[in-house]
Structure 1
Amino acid sequence: MTGLVVVGVDGSASSLAAVEAAAREARLRGAGLRVVHAFVWPATHVPFGSPPLGPPESGLQNMVDRMVAEAVERARTVWPEVDVSHVVLSGEPLTVLEAQSRAAALVVVGSRGMGAFVGLLVGSTAVHLAAHGRCPVLVVREQPHTDGPIVLGIDGSAAGQKAVDFAFAEASLRNAPLVALHTWTTWNAPMPAPQDPSMPYANPPGALAEEEERLLAEAVAGRQERYPGVAVDHRVVHGGTREALIEASRSAQLVVVGARGRGGFAGLLLGSVSQALLHHAHSPVAVVRGAGERH
């Protein structure tokens, strides 16, 4: 597998954790790694270079250079075999990283950057990039698990198929088991066709659960043949989707979800489940946009 892995850095501990995760992804994929920093000029007229009366190592340019150099060195230290490049671009982080995502196989960011407000569990750049990125977006916590399964949230929608493909590929690359998790409640489960047409709302006990198990099986059909080395655990849970996936993330090394599920409102770029996971999951979260979803 090839393709460029892009990681956004801002000097925070979260972004350095993202650099390590991105370097690992690049090594697994046989891809190059690009370290990207988006530089926003301050509102005050601060010179980019060293001030005339200050020490030569001061100034915004030197600060940015040191930050990027630290990120590049971190990547090369943890995975020396990865080809690492770097670039500093003027602009808002979301705008810069969204543009980078157009030619990337994966964009990796930390869950919270230097500009995050105290108390927020995830920064606005991570949430907005997950909604607008043109490739899968991986949001990393400061201390991600390096073992455990890949957890895949499945809702049976056509838009979620790209997330299924991504999760199987990740499980194969990481040599990790895959938990395919689907949740349902009596209120959101599609009604199966009645066995007695004269009683359209009558179904035997267990019919809804069986229908949901069938939906899960169909959603992952064909992937086992493509990834025979991936052990898959099918889990159908009667309960809330957000709660089940957040709980499963406690022991996972990665949770993969689509950007929007079958219950999403038209026009929304990011669904409530993916947003909840970005804020509350205990593991890194990969958000994968579906084919044909508008940006």
Structure 2
Amino acid sequence: MPDRAKPVVLAGIDGSTSARHAAVWAAGLAARRGAVLRLAQVYLIPQPGITGPAVRGVRAGFAGRAEDWLAEAEADVLRLWPSLPIERVVEEGNPVAVLLRESADAELAVLGSRGLGGFTGLLVGSTAVALAAHALCPVVVVRGRRPADPPPETGPVVVGLDGSADSDDALGFACVEAAARGGVLLAVHTWNEIRPDGSARGLELDPREVDAAERSRIESQVAPWREKFPQLRIDVEVVRGRPVRSLLEYGEEAQLVVVGSRGRGGFKGMLLGSTSQALLVHSTCPVAVVRPRSEP
């Protein structure tokens, strides 16, 4: 029987190498948090041209293949964490809808960066993007330097901050992960000529003054978390430029990049901001997207 007293880490499985890397990554996090690992495989049967008794055979074939994929992922996990509790979910339906439902009682949802049948240029499938935008828990897309590479295991945890409540939730998540890994947390804030409210700073811009003001603001945001995690080293980097480029550069040496789902200036209808989505596509390490707790 599932242990409902324990938290759940959800991992989507589709038979790809990327998904198996994601399952192992999720298992490590579940082990550190004392959580149950839930492996989910959702298949959708193509309907055109399949009718009558043939449907039962096709359905049985898809279900059998799903069980095989879960068994492969579970074997990978148990080689490293033989005592980790594991649940399996095999279901026919829309993958996004099922994974969103499963995320309702999960602490975290984890996916690979590309699945079977994905186009070469589409490094993050629609399932990953939709889940990151709408899941009821933080979502991690596990990535390596190349599509088939495992994710890095060393380096700092990097969190992108912009002073908003959205990024504060991301900061809290990043502190927990960095502390659990015994590593360093690097808080990165990027500023440019456009203010958070969308207005231009003007021709009188003094980069040194702006940098000092932005650093003071981010240090104020980080200060309460330093008190909550006194053993965790938190470094702050304030740079002038574009958030995506800065986070990608710092992510080159990181083992995890954490961002909010939207930052300052985000539209309420746009549940996944441009920075978050670009990182999901281009990062060379896993990316966690954390939606604000206040968001319905």
C-alpha separation in 2, matches of 1:119 and 1:276? 14
In 1, Cα distance between equivalents of 2:225 and 2:98: 34
Residue of structure 1 equivalent to 2:280: 278
Of residues 23, 26, 31, the one that matches 1:22 is 26
**Number of the residue aligned with 2:193:** 186
Counterpart selection for 2:123 from 111, 121, 124: 121
- Which range moved further: 262-271 or 95-104? 262-271
Structure 1 residue 170: Cα displacement? 0.3
Counterpart contact for 2:140–2:288, Cα < 8 Å: yes
Change (3 A) 1:29 1:22: same
Residue 2 (structure 1) shift: 5.3
1:205 Cα deviation from its structure 2 partner = 6.4
How far did residue 90 of structure 1 move?
Answer: 2.0
Q: 1:27·1:81 contact (CA, 8 Å) conserved in 2?
A: no
| Paired residue total | 280
In structure 1, the partner of 2:180 is 173
CA contact (8 A) 1:47 1:60 kept: no
Counterpart CA distance in 2 for 1:221 and 1:143 is 34
1:239-250 superposed matches below 5 A: 239-250=241-252
- 1:183, distance to aligned residue in structure 2 (A): 0.3
Quote the residue 2:171 is aligned against: 164
What is aligned with 2:103?
A: 101
What's the CA shift for 1:266? 3.0
Structure 2 distance, partners of 1:126, 1:6, is 13
Q: How does 1:11-160 map to 2 (within 5 A)?
A: 11-43=15-47, 44-45=49-50, 46-49=54-57, 59-141=61-143, 142-160=149-167
Tell me which residue corresponds to 1:292. Answer: 294
Query: What is the aligned-residue identity percentage?
Result: 43
Secondary structure of the residue aligned to 2:123 is coil
- Do the aligned partners of 2:45 and 2:62 also contact (CA within 8 Å) in 1? no
Once the two structures are TM-superposed, the CA of residue 189 in structure 1 deviates from its matched residue by 5.6
Query: Does structure 1 retain, via aligned residues, the 8 Å contact 2:187–2:235?
Result: yes
Q: Which moved more, 1:173-182 or 1:200-209?
A: 200-209
Deviation sequence 1:98-155 (CA, Å, 0-9, x none): 1111100000000111132222121111111000011000100242100100000001
AA aligned to 2:186 is: V
61 and 190 in structure 1: CA distance in 2 versus 1, 3 angstrom threshold: closer
- Structure 1's 2 and 64: CA in aligned 2 closer, same or farther, altered over 3 A? closer
- Distance, in Å, in 2 between the alignment partners of 1:201 and 1:220 is 30
Using the TM superposition, give the Cα deviation of residue 215 of structure 1 relative to its aligned residue in structure 2, in angstroms: 1.5
The residue type paired with residue 185 of structure 1 is N
Conserved 8 A contact 1:49-1:61: no
User: Contact conserved, 1:250 with 1:282, CA < 8 A, in 2?
Assistant: yes
CA distances 1:17-41 after superposition (whole Å, capped 9, x unpaired): 0010010010010111010111212
Cα distance between partner residues in 2 of 1:203 and 1:109: 43
CA contact (8 A) 1:159 1:293 kept: no
- With over 3 angstroms needed to count, the CA separation of the structure-2 counterparts of 1:214 and 1:68, relative to structure 1, is same
Work out the CA distance in 2 between the residues paired with 1:119 and 1:50: 30
Task: Determine if contact 1:107/1:136 at 8 Å carries over to the other structure.
Answer: yes
The structure that has the greater radius of gyration is: 1
TM-score w.r.t. structure 1 length? Answer: 0.89
User: What letter corresponds to residue 224 of structure 2 in structure 1?
Assistant: G
Aligned equivalent of 1:9: 13
Deviation at 1:225, TM superposition (A): 1.6
Maintained 8 Å contact 2:45/2:58 = no
Taking the aligned partners of 2:234 and 2:241, their CA distance within structure 1 comes to 21
Task: Describe the shift of the 1:224–1:48 C-alpha distance in structure 2 as closer, same or farther (beyond 3 A).
Answer: farther
Classify 1:114/1:172 alpha carbon distance in 2 versus 1 (closer, same or farther; 3 Å).
same
Matches within 5 A, 1:159-238: 159-188=166-195, 206-238=208-240
Q: Assess if the C-alpha contact under 8 Å between 2:113 and 2:123 holds in 1.
A: yes
- In the alignment, the residues of structure 1 paired with residue 229 and residue 78 of structure 2 have an alpha-carbon distance, to the nearest angstrom, of 30
Question: More displaced, 86-95 or 166-175?
Answer: 86-95
The separation in 1 between residues aligned to 2:204 and 2:93, in whole angstroms, is 59
Output the aligned Cα RMSD: 2.3
Contact 2:42 2:66 in 1 (8 A): no
Q: 2: CA distance between counterparts of 1:182 and 1:89?
A: 42
Which residue of the partner structure matches residue 197 of structure 1? none
**Please, what TM-score do these two structures have when normalized by structure 2?**
0.89
